[in-house]
Structure 1
Amino acid sequence: LKELSVECNDTKAIAQVGTISANSDSSVGNIIAEAMEKVGRDGVITVEEGQALQDELDVVEGMQFDRGYLSPYFINNQEAGSVDLENPFILLIDKKVSNIRELLPALEAVAKASRPLLIIAEDVEGEALATLVVNNMRGIVKVAAVKAP
């Protein structure tokens, strides 16, 4: 099978494969090719059913979570009701965090670097969450915590 395969290296070839996959709908094939061109080989493309009469491409920069922030006090974009972090450090934790002592070394390093911190954990609760909220509100460390997907 590898010997018979042909790699799609240009937008036209990707559009042709997309058209075939979309039951010969060339407009869908072209949208797929445009999406591939914008996100690259390692990007993620999600196809969703919409309510509009025409097909459209919506490119989202960065990363999105289905779950939100753990406290509304992390919101820093009041208009959108969202947490926007520019070039943050990302701390991945595979358990629940309730004691702030577990996070202190990371918080100190982030504060010295003057960059925001995004914590992705199974959960952040109790003293740890309260301390993160207070530090964020006082501007000591720009931080947000979310539950891992």
Structure 2
Amino acid sequence: MDKSSAMFDMEKAQERLSKLSGGVAVFKVGGASEAEVGERKDRVTDALNATRAAVEEGILPGGGVALLYSTKALQNLQTENEDQKRGVQIIQDALKAPTLTIASNAGYDGSLVLGKLLEQDDDNLGFDASKGAYIDMVKAGIIDPLKVIRTALVDATSVSLLLTTTEASVLENPDEKKPPSRMPDIDNDY
């Protein structure tokens, strides 16, 4: 009797596993307006894509701390000249930017947050800007898919290499004041 019960349980477990791995889920998204429905659909799509990316390559602590802590590996990198040294510094500054920006946008001193995070040894410790507290990001569920972070770094590197080898670039002067926009001339001959 025990053997037949165990076989039945095994078959049921296998059936459940096959439904979960090969099945199709239907999400019904609603809202008060078409714009709200569209926004919610976009959020569901983003969540699904992030989940797929996380399953594919794994996760990292979120809030930019994985990038922040990767700067520690660059500190001891041997460079051959001042240009390479400056390049490493630029990359370190870029890797610190997400955490700095998140803290600053939430009204905190981003430099102070960076300093506190970099002086400790827990690679999962991060700054939860919504609570204003230092927490274990993975335990709190604040994570980033590794694939997303890796792709962003590869793309940013590609763009920076393109800009480095470009002979000329057209930029907008931030100091230049733009004239106020005018109302178009109204045709009074209707």
Do they fold alike, i.e. is TM over 0.5? no
Return the structure number with greater strand share: 1
Return the index of the structure with the highest Cα Rg. Answer: 2
Q: Which one has more relative contact order, counting CA pairs under 8 Å at least 6 apart?
A: 2
